[in-house]
């Protein structure tokens, strides 16, 4: 077995481990939230976010993703779900700036993945970008305009326009 194949297998098994640990943390967070234990929910959501971020960072750094595509969808979804759950928790606590930060961070991370060299990762990111865009728009409708949301949406709009122009040339 060559070294590249072994490294890809190591990355894949690491990604799977992160996802399994993420599931445990997100489940504990959701359970704590349902039972009104918001402090515990925050702690578990933050731990889940750390695992999700590590998994997505692995995707951003991976050159060979063919064997990781099955995990990529789950890693991306884990990050979006965790960020959105944290945003909901912060919104409920009246901490709108923190909620906005999580919504925008999810959107901007997906935008980084949208520029991944592998087309399948770009497609996954684009699909999830629709979700994060909708969440940002819904938040704006409910709570009014916010500069961070506007910047996040403008950044992605500008970069999309640049990508479109590159394809045309």
Output the average pLDDT for the chain: 84
User: Do 49 and 40 touch, CB atoms closer than 8 A?
Assistant: no
Per-residue pLDDT tens for 15-52? Answer: 778 899 999 999 999 999 999 999 999 999 999 999 99
| Most confident range, picked from 32-46, 65-79, 151-165 | 32-46
Give the pair of three-digit tokens for residue 71. Answer: 């995990």
Q: What is the largest CA-CA distance in the chain?
A: 56
Per-residue pLDDT tens for 87-121? Answer: 999 999 999 999 999 999 999 999 988 888 888 88
The residue with greater pLDDT, 143 or 72, is 143
Q: Residue 148 and residue 128: Cα distance in Å, rounded? A: 19
Q: Residue 53 and residue 106: Cα distance in Å, rounded? A: 10
Q: Residue 25 and residue 12: Cα distance in Å, rounded? A: 20
User: Do 113 and 60 touch, CB atoms closer than 8 A?
Assistant: yes
Residue 9's pLDDT is 44
Q: Residue 135 and residue 116: Cα distance in Å, rounded? A: 23
User: Do 111 and 129 touch, CB atoms closer than 8 A?
Assistant: yes
Q: How confident is the model at residue 140 (pLDDT cuts 50, 70, 90)?
A: very high
Q: Residue 122 and residue 29: Cα distance in Å, rounded? A: 30
CA–CA–CA angle 88, 34, 24 (5° rounding):
85
What structural domains does the chain harbor? 3-168 (1.25.40)
């Amino acid at each position: 077995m060559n070294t590249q194949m072994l490294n890809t297998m190591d990355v894949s098994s690491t990604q799977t481990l992160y996802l399994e640990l993420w599931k445990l943390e997100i489940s504990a967070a959701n359970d704590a939230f349902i039972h009104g234990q918001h402090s515990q929910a925050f702690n578990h959501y933050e731990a889940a976010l750390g695992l999700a971020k590590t998994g997505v960072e692995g995707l951003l750094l991976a050159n060979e993703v063919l064997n990781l595509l099955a995990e990529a969808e789950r890693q991306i979804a884990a990050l979006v779900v965790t960020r959105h759950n944290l945003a909901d928790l912060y919104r409920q606590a009246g901490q709108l700036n923190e909620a906005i930060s999580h919504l925008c961070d999810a959107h901007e991370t997906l935008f980084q993945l949208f520029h991944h060299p592998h087309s399948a990762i770009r497609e996954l990111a684009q699909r999830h970008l629709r979700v994060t865009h909708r969440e940002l728009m819904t938040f704006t409708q409910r709570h009014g305009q916010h500069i961070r949301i506007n910047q996040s949406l403008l950044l992605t709009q500008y970069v999309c326009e640049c990508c479109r122009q590159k394809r045309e040339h």
